[in-house]
Structure 1
Amino acid sequence: MTAPGVPVLDFHARLTPGDRAPAALLAAMDEAGIGRSVVSAGGLLSLDRLSAQINDGGRADVAAGNDRVHEQCARSAGRLLPFFFADPVRDVEAYRAAAGRFRGLEISPAVHGFRLDDPAVADLITIAAAARHPVYVVTLAHPGTRTADLAGLARRCTGVPFVWGHCGHTGLDFAGLAELAPVPNVHAEISGCLTVTAVQAVRRFGVSRVLFGTEYPLQHPRVELAKAAALGLAPSELREVMAGNAGRLLGEETT
C-alpha cells in the first residue's frame, strides 16, 4: 500500500473478455486503494502465443473489442478510463471515428506484429495528436520495434506524449532508459520491471515523467504498490509518480 492520503491512478491495467472482468478489476482496485485505472483490452492472445511473439516476432490478426471496453468503462462511475487498442492494419479508420470516446491509444508490436515506422502507425499517431491522446507502447528487440525506433517516432511527433510500457520488455532495459530519457515527450511506465530499473527511470527521466502502473490482471496490484514504496521517493515525488503525472497526461484531477 502507498502512504495514507496518496491518490493512485494506475496507468496500465487490462479488461479481459467477459462480463465479470470490470467487477473483478474494481474489487482489486478497492483492495489495493487504487482510485482510477487506465484500461485497455486484454486477453487477446494466450500467454504462450504472446511470449512466443515477443521472442520470435509474428502477427496475430485479432480484434481488441474496443467497443466492449468503452461500454464497461462507461458503467464504472469514472473509475475506469478506456484506451483504444489499435491494430495498424485494420483499425485506423475505426480509431478515427471513435477517438473522442477514449482517453488514449495503445499500440502493441508484440500482438499485432508491426514496425513503428509503418505508415499506418503514423496515421494512428496523427489521430492521437488531434485527440490529445497519450500513446502507450512496449518496445521489443526486433527491427522496427526497438527503443531507437520509439525514440525516432517520438522525435518526429513532438506534440504527442508517448508512454514506454514496462520500461521495456526485459525488466532490466538500462540501454533503453539511456536511449529514451533524452526524448522529452517519452514517459516511463514502471509496471513489470525490476525495482532497480524503476529507480533508474526516476533518476534518468526525472520524477515528472514516470508513471505508476500495475499490469493487472497479470500482476497483482499489491506487488507494484510495494515496488513503488521501495523507490525511496519523497512524499511529494511519490504523489507525482502514483497519480499526478498520469493526471496531467489525461487531463484528470488527482487530489
Structure 2
Amino acid sequence: MTGTEHTPVFDSHAHLAGADGATERLLRTMGSNGISRAVVVAGGAVDPDRLSRQIIEGGHVVDDADNDAVLAGCARSGGRLVPFFFANPHRHCADYRAAAGAFRGLKLAPSVHGVGLLDPRTKALVELADARRHGVYLHCLQRPGFGVAELVRLAAEFPTVTFVLGHGGVGDMDLYGVELIRPRANVLLETSGCLSVVVRTALDRLGLDRVLLGTEYPLQHPAVELAKYRALELPDAVWHRVTWQNTCRLIGEDVP
C-alpha cells in the first residue's frame, strides 16, 4: 500500500464526553494518528461495566446522553468534529425534534436504552431522521428484537434512510450479519471492534461504498483500528473510499 500515510482519514464513529478537556484530548489523539475529522456522539450515558452486563443480560437506563457537550466540543474543533444526536427513545422524539437542526445524524443505542429496533419509539425517531435527511447509526445485539435481522426489516421500512450497523455487527466475527445486510443497499457497516476478516469480507460482498472506518474512541485507541486496515494492504483508492469518502457521503457532504 502506498501513499495512505498522507491521505486524510475521517473517523465515522467516536465518542465525546462532557468532562473537562475531553475535546482537546480527542483532537490531540486524532492529530497524533493522522485523523483529520471525526463523527462524534456523546459518551458516558452508561458506565462501561454496566453496559457490558446489559449487552449480555439485558436491562437498560433511561438517562440522557450529553448532546449539549457534543455540540460545544464540535463548536471548538474548527470543523474537525461532526455531531450526531444520541437519542433517548424513552423521551420519544421531543428532544431530537427540537435539536435536530444542529446535528448531522442520529445515534441509537439499544444496548444502552433497551428499546428494540422495531419498537414504535425507534421507528418514530427514524421517521424524523428521514425527514431531516440524517443517517442513523446503531448497534445490534444477539437478542430477539435487537438483531441484525430486525435492522434489515427496519431498513426495508425506511428505504431512503442510510443506516450504519456499528462495530461490524454482533460480536467480533459477524460474517452472517454481513450476509443479512447484503441485500439492503441502505445499510452500511462500520467496523470498529471486529476482526480484519470481517472488513475484508464486507468489502468483497457489500462493495466499497458500504464500509466505514470507525474507532470507538475512547474505548478503542484509533491506532488499533488504523492498523487493522493497514494490515489489509488496501489499494490507495479503496483506502480513500472507506477512510474518507464514505463518511463524507454519510453526513451529506460532497466528496472532495
TM (norm. structure 1) is 0.97
Matched residue, 1:94: 95
Over aligned residue pairs, what C-alpha RMSD do you find? 1.4
For 1:168-247, what aligned pairs fall within 5 Å after superposition? Answer: 168-247=169-248
CA contact (8 A) 2:92 2:121 kept: no
The yes-or-no answer on 1:55 pairing with 2:32 is no
> Counterparts of 1:100 and 1:21 in 2: how far apart (Å)?
24
Matches within 5 A, 1:123-138: 123-138=124-139
Could you tell me which amino acid in structure 1 is paired with residue 171 of structure 2? T
| Bigger shift: residues 226-235 or 94-103 | 226-235
Task: Give the equivalent residue in structure 1 for 2:250.
Answer: 249
Stretch deviating more after TM superposition (103-112 or 62-71): 62-71
- Aligned twin of 1:26: 27
One-letter amino acid matched to 1:61: V
Distance 1:151 1:16 in 2: 30
CA distance in 2, matches of 1:30, 1:47: 26
**Contact map agreement 2:10 2:38 (CA 8 A) in 1:** yes
3-state SS of 1:245 partner: helix
Q: Deviation per CA, 1:107-138, whole angstroms, max 9, x where unpaired?
A: 01100001111111111011111111110011
Task: Please tell me the residue identity of whatever aligns with 1:233.
Answer: L
Q: Which is worse superposed, 127-136 or 244-253?
A: 244-253
User: After TM superposition, what 4+ stretches of structure 1 lie above 3 angstroms from structure 2?
Assistant: none
Distance 1:244 1:17 in 2: 29
What code does the residue aligned with 1:182 have?
A: P
Aligned length: 255
**Aligned 1:112-191 pairs, distance under 5 A:** 112-191=113-192
Q: Any conservation in 2 of the 1:40–1:69 contact (CA below 8 Å)?
A: yes
Q: What amino acid sits opposite 2:218 in the alignment?
A: P
What secondary structure is seen at the aligned counterpart in 1 of 2:8?
Answer: coil
For residue 181 of structure 1, report the CA deviation from its aligned partner: 1.4
Question: Which amino acid in structure 2 is aligned with residue 126 of structure 1?
Answer: E
Instruction: Encode CA deviations 1:14-33: one digit per residue, 9 max, x unaligned.
Output: 01231211000000000001
**Are the counterparts in 1 of residues 167 and 190 from structure 2 also a CA contact under 8 Å?**
yes
> SS in structure 2 opposite 1:89?
helix
Comparing 20-29 with 230-239, which one deviates more in the overlay? 230-239
- CA distance in 2 between counterparts of 1:115 and 1:64 reads 18
Question: How far is the alpha carbon of 1:211 from its aligned partner?
Answer: 0.4
How big is the shift at 1:47? 1.3
Q: Deviations over 1:66-125 (max 9, x none)?
A: 112112111111011010000111151110111110010000110000111111111101
In 2, Cα distance between equivalents of 1:31 and 1:105: 28
Q: CA deviation at 1:254?
A: 5.2
Work out the CA distance in 1 between the residues paired with 2:232 and 2:105.
Answer: 27
Alpha carbons of 1:18 and 1:91: their partners in 2 closer, same or farther (altered >3 Å)?
A: farther
State the shift of 1:238 in Å.
0.8
Aligned-pair identity in percent equals 48
Q: What 5-or-longer segments of structure 1 have no aligned partner?
A: none
Structure 2: which 5+ runs fail to align? Answer: none
Q: What secondary structure does 1:106 align onto?
A: strand
Contact 2:196 2:228 in 1 (8 A): yes
